[in-house]
Structure 1
Amino acid sequence: MNIVILDGYTLNPGDQDWAPIRKLGNVTIYDRSAKEEIVGRAHDAEILLVNKVVLSAETLAQLTKVKYIGVMATGFNNIDIEAARKQGITVTNVKAYGPASVAQQTFALLLAIVNRVETHSQSVFAGDWVASPDFCYWKTPLNELAGKTMGLIGLGDIGSQVAKIALAFGMSVIAHRKHPVPMDNIEMVSLDAIFTQSDVISLHCPLTEETREIINRESLSKMKAGAIILNTGRGPLIHEADLADALRNGTIAAAGLDVLSVEPPKPDNPLLSAPNCVITPHVAWATFEARRRLLQMVAGNLESFQKGAPQNVVS
């Protein structure tokens, strides 16, 4: 089978082995593909593997040989699923390849805010400690997590991992989930309770019309002045202008974000100039170990399809 990978670089910039996929067919790999390159590159493909390349109905209509699209990620909104279904194309995605990595990044963002390790390290290398009249100093307030309340919006694979880490730090954990599931040491509460009671709010819910911009001017106004917002989920869960305003006027204390509504962001994204905002470039999923699991699971999905028993089908 002719297998074409249209944007392989993000998953594998050279530190992984494509062998699990190469053994399943004749594989052609492109690091990146612009919109105008897709049809030419994929014209003879029976199998397409993509990460973020957009496959619209118009594009799919020109790819008459394609029988299977494997999304090398969890989110599949870059594929016109209805058009794929009409063409008889099976589309699959990959879930739960990186809960530990995303939870780790969630706390990396939180610790960057409460401990300001980078700020203090830069200060030391700038000579501030050498010149200090005291044996120690701090450039910003430092805060303990123990005794604080972590509020989780969403309690799936990733949210549950974040909860475990929060409990290990001595935090109390409350959570809101559309379909509550009892969990030890976690109190299930209303959304309003998350907003009013939490010292830290971490977003781990899917992006739906119900959750889109769930963090907005109204919800921000309910939060504690010292509250911290964390988002390693989806950028559009946050109304970015409202969050930027809240950070500027002190409605809340800080934000740690690994995702934005448009990626890469536009230069005028208000959060790029907001105070007390830590932003990383959508890397929570991208540890070596998580990407290795992802590649293996992409191969597993494809192999199952080839055997006539597709799994993780979203079409």
Structure 2
Amino acid sequence: MIRIVFLDRDTLSPETVVRAPSVPHEMVVHARTAPHEVAERIRDADVVITNKAPVRAEALAGAAKLKLIAVSATGTDIVDLAEAKAHDIAVCNIRNYAKHTVPEHTFALMLALRRSILPYRRSVIEGRWQQAAQFCYFDYPIADLGGSTLGIIGHGTLGQSVGKIAEAFGMTVLAAGRRGATELKSGQTAFDEVLKRSDVITLHCPLTPETRGVIGAREFALMERKPLLINTGRGGLVDELALEKALDAGQISGAGFDVTDGEPPTPDSPMMRIASRENVILTSHVAWASREAIQALADQLIENIELFLAGTPRNLVG
């Protein structure tokens, strides 16, 4: 009998169906698991499912039966991969489930900011249209996406999907090479050149030691066209204090973020300080969370477990 422990079921929507694996098993489901509770809850597990509950070295040391950590997300930074490997514990993740939902959210942020949708909506509610005494008014800037340049940092599945949508809008697409890279792959543009030439910059790379703070004070200073900055990737990709200062200095024209460095952000964080600005939209890490995408994630999660137990693992990490 396989013992499966789901550490944080509440990270998937209540309407999502997480079916039972087609092997003899016992499933223990926790709504949430605090970091200090992980070790005890996984002690007798053969398989652990986690989205955001951290599985670190001290917890792994006491999990003698553990064979698989199935991450119910793409990012795996909540797992100590080196320690899992040392204990011969496999780690798998979810891939390619968000190829529609994240790009669509990216463009929702992009369009809302370029066309000042939220300020115009608010002003209509406040009676500005009647005050204008004509058919329209021009209180907020509006700019087309067509004819502008989009810089994509992180050109994997999601970045490529965003690029295809951008081309349909008539945008010029630049795929950035790695920061500091001296050699570029085919179709890439040097990182700094992308920052200088882009009217909109969007982030779709994973959070790693290399990419943490990939956009900071130095990078903002290079943004000659005062672009919009869109981040539906991970919060730690952007230095949030530098972002606040860049907005204050007019180095960028706006920011659309779905992620923060630490979630939820503290009330006094830079992201909460800027959240009410007219040229900022902050959403609560929901770019991935369409009904269709979450169900696809849940289905893939169980399939990953079944395939591992059948001896044909997929999506292994590390």
TM-score by length of 1: 0.92
| Paired position in structure 1 for 2:4 | 3
Sequence identity percentage: 38
Q: Is the 8 A contact 2:3 2:27 kept in 1?
A: yes
- Whole-Å Cα distance in 2 between the matches of residues 270 and 21 of structure 1? 43
More deviation in 82-91 or 38-47?
Answer: 38-47
| Paired position in structure 2 for 1:249 | 249
Q: By how many angstroms is 1:9 displaced?
A: 1.0
Change in CA separation of 1:22 and 1:38 when aligned onto 2, cut-off 3 Å? farther
| Letter in structure 2 aligned against 1:86 | A
Q: By how many angstroms is 1:131 displaced?
A: 4.3
**Equivalent runs, 1:1-315 vs 2, <5 Å:** 1-11=2-12, 13-21=13-21, 25-178=25-178, 182=186, 188-274=188-274, 275=277, 276-315=279-318
SS of structure 1 residue aligned to 2:111: helix
- Whole-Å Cα distance in 1 between the matches of residues 140 and 301 of structure 2? 44
Q: By how many angstroms is 1:225 displaced?
A: 4.6
- Whole-Å Cα distance in 1 between the matches of residues 223 and 110 of structure 2? 17
Aligned pairs, number = 310
More deviation in 208-217 or 58-67?
Answer: 208-217
Q: Is the 8 A contact 1:101 1:285 kept in 2?
A: yes
- Whole-Å Cα distance in 2 between the matches of residues 24 and 146 of structure 1? 55
Change in CA separation of 1:122 and 1:296 when aligned onto 2, cut-off 3 Å? same
Q: Is the 8 A contact 1:154 1:203 kept in 2?
A: yes
**For 1:231-289, what per-residue CA distance to the aligned partner results, in whole angstroms no more than 9, with x for missing partners?**
11121211111111010111121111111111111222223223422111111111111
Q: By how many angstroms is 1:96 displaced?
A: 1.1
Q: By how many angstroms is 1:21 displaced?
A: 3.6
Q: By how many angstroms is 1:195 displaced?
A: 1.0
Change in CA separation of 1:36 and 1:236 when aligned onto 2, cut-off 3 Å? closer
Q: Is the 8 A contact 1:47 1:66 kept in 2?
A: yes
Q: Is the 8 A contact 2:109 2:281 kept in 1?
A: yes
- Whole-Å Cα distance in 2 between the matches of residues 21 and 199 of structure 1? 47
**For 1:120-171, what per-residue CA distance to the aligned partner results, in whole angstroms no more than 9, with x for missing partners?**
2232233333444112224311111111111111211011111111111111
SS of structure 2 residue aligned to 1:129: helix
Q: By how many angstroms is 1:42 displaced?
A: 2.8
Change in CA separation of 1:52 and 1:218 when aligned onto 2, cut-off 3 Å? same
Q: Is the 8 A contact 2:176 2:191 kept in 1?
A: yes
More deviation in 218-227 or 68-77?
Answer: 218-227
- Whole-Å Cα distance in 1 between the matches of residues 235 and 157 of structure 2? 19
- Whole-Å Cα distance in 1 between the matches of residues 224 and 88 of structure 2? 51
**For 1:65-96, what per-residue CA distance to the aligned partner results, in whole angstroms no more than 9, with x for missing partners?**
22211000111111111222222211111111
| Letter in structure 2 aligned against 1:219 | E
- Whole-Å Cα distance in 1 between the matches of residues 188 and 15 of structure 2? 41
Q: Is the 8 A contact 1:7 1:51 kept in 2?
A: yes
TM-score by length of 2: 0.91
Which runs of 5 or more residues in structure 1 are unaligned? none
**For 1:47-79, what per-residue CA distance to the aligned partner results, in whole angstroms no more than 9, with x for missing partners?**
110001011111111222222110001111111
- Whole-Å Cα distance in 1 between the matches of residues 193 and 78 of structure 2? 34
SS of structure 1 residue aligned to 2:230: strand
